[in-house]
């Protein structure tokens, strides 16, 4: 059984994330989308909310499941018997950061990382920018899954 994890903050998931998850699901028998903590980012959604949004957004993908983890990604891989990490690359600046994490993760655990080129249609997308644009009333339809769109607008209205 070939199993991979697509890790991320997913605060919230964008269509760029979904594109990578869907393509990974074609390559592996099982894909776990794992919500992890990125200590350098402040969240708009709780971990449970992010998982719920991911579950709704990946419901049509039978070999994808959603989970969360509070420790090292490589410890999660070990615990779950996962051999590969899959991440999307939008740009050269992503590459620097992702390569460093991939090398560190391999050094400490032997787990391999596959860096997948993003669909160029989504290369400008990030959770942070989507939140910023939506907060100032910009239209983010088509940038996030429908379930995320509605919850994002609701959360912004709550925070107002």
Active-site positions read: 17, 41, 90, 127
* Distant-in-sequence, close-in-space partners of 1: CB < 8 Å, separation ≥ 6: 29, 30
Find the binding residues for ligand PNS in span 72-91 (CB under 6 A).
Answer: 72-73
Q: What are φ and ψ of residue 136, in 5° steps?
A: -95, 15
Q: Is 124 annotated as a binding residue?
A: yes
- Give SS3 for 56: helix
Q: What are φ and ψ of residue 106, in 5° steps?
A: -70, -40
Instruction: Report, in Å, the least distance between residue 62 CB and ligand PNS.
Output: 24
User: Which residue's CB is nearer to ligand PNS, number 34 or number 158?
Assistant: 34
Q: Does 129 engage in binding with ligand PNS (CB under 6 A)?
A: no
- Contacts with ligand PNS by CB under 6 A lie at 7-9, 36-38, 41, 72-73, 101, 104-105
Please state the residue numbers annotated as binding site for substrate: 9, 41, 73, 87
């Amino acid at each position: 059984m070939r199993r991979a994890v697509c890790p991320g903050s997913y605060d919230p998931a964008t269509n760029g994330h979904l594109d990578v998850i869907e393509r990974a699901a074609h390559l592996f028998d099982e894909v776990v989308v794992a919500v992890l903590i990125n200590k350098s980012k402040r969240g708009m959604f709780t971990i449970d909310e992010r998982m719920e949004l991911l579950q709704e957004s990946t419901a049509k993908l039978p070999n994808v499941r959603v989970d969360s983890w509070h420790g090292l990604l490589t410890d999660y891989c070990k615990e779950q018997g996962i051999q590969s990490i899959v991440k999307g690359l939008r740009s050269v600046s992503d590459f620097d950061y992702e390569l460093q994490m991939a090398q560190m993760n391999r050094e400490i655990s032997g787990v391999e990382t596959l860096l997948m080129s993003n669909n160029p249609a989504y290369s400008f997308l990030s959770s942070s920018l989507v939140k910023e644009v939506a907060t100032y009333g910009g239209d983010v339809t088509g940038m996030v899954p429908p379930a995320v769109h509605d919850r994002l607008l609701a959360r912004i209205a709550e925070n107002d």
